[in-house]
A and B are shown apart, each in its own frame.
Chain A
Amino acid sequence: MDWKRYLFIALIIIALFSVVIFVGKTQTPPLVIAMSMLATTLMVATPLTLGALSGVFCETSAVINIGIEGMMLAAAFFGWLAAIYMNTIFGYEPMPSLITGVVVAVLTGGIFGLLLAVLSITFKVDQIIGGTVVNMLAIGITGFLNRQLFFEKNSVFGGQVPHAPGTLPIIHLPVPKVVGGVCSLFTADGCPTFANALGKVFDQRPIAILAIVLVFVSHYVIFHTRWGLRTRAVGEHPRAADTVGINVTRVRYINVVIGGLLAGLGGAYFTLESVPSFEPLMTNGRGFIALAAMIFGNWTPIGSWAAALVFGAAQAMQINLQFFRDLIPPAWSFLQQSYIVGLTPYLLTMLILTGIVGKTVPPAADGQPYEK
């Protein structure tokens, strides 16, 4: 991805941060607002990042995945179901239940990834239709089971939601201590305000941290390993790849299932990390925004992550503006309307897809089934 695109991303993020700083600066120091925005951005970008990585793996091997939304929704439900079920067994110890939940969520994503692979690779179904099937099945199954298990008296849970094991805990990385230590070399007090504000940014929960690690792991896998080279070959020119002995079908299957597993981890974010409950349709379009992030990120892991952060920042603006609701100047009163501010990620997506910052190039064979 070229530097102009990263510059554009940086400018949008700065603009979104500036709005909140501008509104809240009389009450809270700009630095604290900026750090708080950064912390929220990293947090809410998590499912977008993982969804985009899911798309990157699928589409680098030339399988379009518009089923990310459905994969995340199904994973969110089944991961949560597993966690609350295990919680009825383990009782007061939440961690084993939560970890089981995450594992089940990831596997659920993998199973839906396998479904997409069977449809689009084996049966050569139009891939956008195949993704739509995944989305519809996920909405149908989660809606049905949610009602059947928790609202029907004759179900295993007796018609009510059992006690949830809570959410995954925050991991306190020792950043404030390190920064304070470095700072004290230059100043007398060790700049506690800055250190603490910065520390907040790094107080993230496990899936958010894992998502960032996975961005770089994916980058390494796709661009610096033999597997990645094969995957790219299959996505760009499957016939040439086939001629040199690469099994096109196998490579695509594995990548689409990897994509499903990643979307599954993104789904776990919703019910095991963000809130300890499930709502029908709770992914609320994040899978599709992730897809847009992947396109804007030019089908690369790091580019997709950067784009996911733009959407994360837009959402973070909406969240952080709530704290400063009363400080919004009358001329900017539209910022008080959360429905209007909530439009930002969607409008940004459409703006970005117009190619305002240059066209992106999908893998050459993207969307085409391979016929021997």
Chain B
Amino acid sequence: MSENKRSFQDALSESPLVVPILAIFTSMVLGGIIIAWAGGNPVAAYIGLYQGAFGSLNALSETAVWATPYILAGLAVAFAFKGGLFNIGAEGQLALGAVAAAWVGYALPDLLGAELPRYLHLTLALGAGTLAGLIWGAIPGWLKAHTGGHEVINTIMMNYIALNMTSFLLNGVMKDPSPTNVIARTPLIAETARLGTLFAKYRVHWGFIMALVAAAIVWWLLERTTFGFEIRTVGANPDAAQYAGINVKRIITWTMAISGLLAGLAGAVEVTGLNYRHELGFSVGYGFDAIAIALLGKTHPLGVVLAALLFAAMRNGGTRMQFMTQIPVDIISVIQALILLFVAADAIIRYIYRLKASEDKLVLTRGWGG
């Protein structure tokens, strides 16, 4: 009997889902304690959270709407991790992707003096967004490969540069000129540059499908192509990769470029599919959320999709939770940070729940020298 029990515990300890699930559970319990301290009823709060996220068809649609940029930005960070690179710059890449897509969306028809065909205009807008993200990711990648400037610092600096540039543009040349507007935002994009919704009555749009397809492509690229193999080899051991004849510098630059591309697409999809414009401040917080999603999903594309859906459900349900219990929606950020804490330090979870220590250690980044 005890033999069986032991083997069951072994199997449980080795399952890849066990630590993330227990991390989420533990964080929700701690979050509940904080809610109770703040004078709320944790059970009511979590019921509100659940209803807000899954309680109706509209709630499901809104969760998918939230999940769309999360999946893409999470994939961006996860993709860089595969190559041994830490992209903290998803926020800036996303913001510039949104700005570029918005510009093509509202300004290009005026510039050309003619309406563009629907799918061409949409493709150009999405293309501009991904290109902006790609460039914004490639710069720190190139700097890492050729000068050794660490991508952690450089991507953070480029977040602030992107924020300043966006503020400059949205308060200046790109500001919505309508007389009633006082907000730093672009004009609405043309109808021809908009992604359609999936169902007539709900806001969930084709960007959600695009995000899922992107996850599949990322998986295929990493697991089934030579390029992906080279990325993973550089991520695991750059010296060995160099010795094996892989052009490490080229791979590092392209890993960051594709990572930036995915984040840029996230921004472009938000503009073309949901908001139909870019507004200052909308992209704040996506960068850190994307890191947490990538880590919670263990950098696997399917894991990233699931983690993004969870984060989206929490963000979406948080509004209803706040409405029902008066607990500020910011509690969600605390719970999400705790999830990241327990996923990163899985030894804590394994200790609390008496699981066996993990054999394989996920090496994600290297120190300053790497």
Is the CB–CB distance between A119 and B340 below 8 Å?
no
Which chain B positions have C-beta within 8 A of A125?
A: 344-345
- Please tell me the size bucket of the interface on B: 35 or more
A 337-364 to B, binary, CB cutoff 8 A, 1 in contact else 0: 1011011001101100111000100100
Is the CB–CB distance between A288 and B157 below 8 Å?
yes
Is the CB–CB distance between A354 and B160 below 8 Å?
no
| B338 contacts partner chain A, Cβ-Cβ < 8 Å | yes
Is the CB–CB distance between B341 and A133 below 8 Å?
yes
Checking B147, B336, B344 against A354 with a beta-carbon cut-off of 8 angstroms, the contacting residue is B147
Q: Which of B88, B153, B292 has the most CB of A within 10 A?
A: B153
| B214 contacts partner chain A, Cβ-Cβ < 8 Å | no
Is the CB–CB distance between A339 and B153 below 8 Å?
no
Which chain A positions have C-beta within 8 A of B330?
A: 140, 143-144, 146-148
Is the CB–CB distance between A148 and B149 below 8 Å?
no
Checking B161, B337, B340 against A347 with a beta-carbon cut-off of 8 angstroms, the contacting residue is B161
Is the CB–CB distance between B160 and A285 below 8 Å?
yes
Q: How far is the CA of A164 from the CA of B334 in the complex (A)?
A: 26
Is the CB–CB distance between B341 and A137 below 8 Å?
yes
Checking A119, A148, A292 against B345 with a beta-carbon cut-off of 8 angstroms, the contacting residue is A119
Q: Which of B152, B159, B336 has the most CB of A within 10 A?
A: B152
Is the CB–CB distance between B369 and A343 below 8 Å?
no
Known interface pairs A154-B326, A339-B164. Does A133 touch B368 (Cβ–Cβ under 8 Å)?
Answer: no
Checking A130, A343, A353, A367 against B366 with a beta-carbon cut-off of 8 angstroms, the contacting residue is A367
Checking B337, B345, B347, B369 against A139 with a beta-carbon cut-off of 8 angstroms, the contacting residue is B337
The A152-207 residues at the B interface (CB cut-off 8 A) are: 152, 154-155
CB-based A-B contact count at 8 angstroms: 151
Q: Which of B34, B158, B335, B337 has the most CB of A within 10 A?
A: B337
Is the CB–CB distance between A288 and B347 below 8 Å?
no
Which chain B positions have C-beta within 8 A of A342?
A: 164
Is the CB–CB distance between A362 and B161 below 8 Å?
no
| A132 contacts partner chain B, Cβ-Cβ < 8 Å | yes
The B356-370 residues at the A interface (CB cut-off 8 A) are: 362-369
| B58 contacts partner chain A, Cβ-Cβ < 8 Å | no
| A135 contacts partner chain B, Cβ-Cβ < 8 Å | yes
Checking A133, A135, A362 against B344 with a beta-carbon cut-off of 8 angstroms, the contacting residue is A133
In the complex, what residue of chain B is closest to A133 when comparing beta carbons?
A: B341
| B143 contacts partner chain A, Cβ-Cβ < 8 Å | yes
Q: How far is the CA of A286 from the CA of B114 in the complex (A)?
A: 46
Known interface pairs A128-B86, A288-B156. Does A337 touch B337 (Cβ–Cβ under 8 Å)?
Answer: no
| A6 contacts partner chain B, Cβ-Cβ < 8 Å | no
Which chain A positions have C-beta within 8 A of B326?
A: 152, 154
Is the CB–CB distance between A129 and B368 below 8 Å?
no
Is the CB–CB distance between A343 and B164 below 8 Å?
yes
| B225 contacts partner chain A, Cβ-Cβ < 8 Å | no
| B167 contacts partner chain A, Cβ-Cβ < 8 Å | yes
| B328 contacts partner chain A, Cβ-Cβ < 8 Å | yes
A 116-135 to B, binary, CB cutoff 8 A, 1 in contact else 0: 00010001111111101101
Is the CB–CB distance between B168 and A340 below 8 Å?
yes
Is the CB–CB distance between B288 and A133 below 8 Å?
no
Q: How far is the CB of B185 from chain A (nearest CB, A)?
A: 16
Q: How far is the CA of A27 from the CA of B86 in the complex (A)?
A: 48
Q: Which of A129, A151, A354 has the most CB of B within 10 A?
A: A129
Which chain B positions have C-beta within 8 A of A292?
A: 153, 157
Chain B: interface secondary structure? helix
Known interface pairs A133-B341, A136-B292, A144-B334. Does A64 touch B368 (Cβ–Cβ under 8 Å)?
Answer: yes
| B154 contacts partner chain A, Cβ-Cβ < 8 Å | yes
Checking B284, B327, B334 against A137 with a beta-carbon cut-off of 8 angstroms, the contacting residue is B334
Q: Which of A139, A152, A343, A350 has the most CB of B within 10 A?
A: A350
| B304 contacts partner chain A, Cβ-Cβ < 8 Å | no
| A295 contacts partner chain B, Cβ-Cβ < 8 Å | yes
Q: How far is the CA of A359 from the CA of B150 in the complex (A)?
A: 12
Checking B167, B340, B366 against A339 with a beta-carbon cut-off of 8 angstroms, the contacting residue is B167
Which chain A positions have C-beta within 8 A of B160?
A: 284-285, 346
Is the CB–CB distance between B328 and A144 below 8 Å?
yes
| A66 contacts partner chain B, Cβ-Cβ < 8 Å | yes
Which chain A positions have C-beta within 8 A of B171?
A: 339
- Please tell me the size bucket of the interface on A: 35 or more
| B295 contacts partner chain A, Cβ-Cβ < 8 Å | yes
| B246 contacts partner chain A, Cβ-Cβ < 8 Å | no
Checking B156, B335, B340, B369 against A362 with a beta-carbon cut-off of 8 angstroms, the contacting residue is B369
Q: How far is the CB of A347 from chain B (nearest CB, A)?
A: 7
| A368 contacts partner chain B, Cβ-Cβ < 8 Å | yes
Q: How far is the CB of B242 from chain A (nearest CB, A)?
A: 19
B 240-259 to A, binary, CB cutoff 8 A, 1 in contact else 0: 00000000000000000000
| A21 contacts partner chain B, Cβ-Cβ < 8 Å | no
Q: How far is the CA of A126 from the CA of B140 in the complex (A)?
A: 21
Is the CB–CB distance between A123 and B345 below 8 Å?
yes
Q: How far is the CA of A140 from the CA of B284 in the complex (A)?
A: 13
Which chain B positions have C-beta within 8 A of A143?
A: 330, 333
A 91-134 to B, binary, CB cutoff 8 A, 1 in contact else 0: 00000000000000000000000000001000111111110110
Known interface pairs A144-B330, A152-B328, A366-B367. Does A133 touch B340 (Cβ–Cβ under 8 Å)?
Answer: yes
Is the CB–CB distance between B344 and A129 below 8 Å?
yes
Q: Which of B148, B288, B345, B362 has the most CB of A within 10 A?
A: B345
Which chain A positions have C-beta within 8 A of B148?
A: 354-355, 359
Q: How far is the CA of A343 from the CA of B38 in the complex (A)?
A: 40
B 138-150 to A, binary, CB cutoff 8 A, 1 in contact else 0: 0000010001111
What are the nearest 8 A-B pairs in CB distance? A367-B367, A140-B333, A353-B149, A339-B168, A147-B328, A136-B337, A144-B330, A140-B334
* Sample of 24 A–B contacts (CB below 8 Å): A123-B348, A125-B345, A126-B344, A126-B363, A128-B86, A129-B295, A130-B345, A132-B344, A135-B288, A136-B291, A136-B340, A137-B338, A151-B328, A154-B39, A291-B153, A339-B167, A343-B164, A346-B157, A350-B143, A350-B149, A350-B154, A350-B157, A362-B369, A366-B369
| Chain A interface (Cβ < 8 Å from any Cβ of B) | 64, 66, 119, 123-130, 132-133, 135-137, 139-141, 143-144, 146-148, 151-152, 154-155, 281, 284-285, 288, 291-292, 295, 337, 339-340, 342-343, 346-347, 349-350, 353-355, 359, 362, 366-368
In the complex, besides A288-B157, A343-B161, 4 extra interface pairs with C-beta distance below 8 angstroms are A64-B367, A124-B347, A129-B364, A288-B156
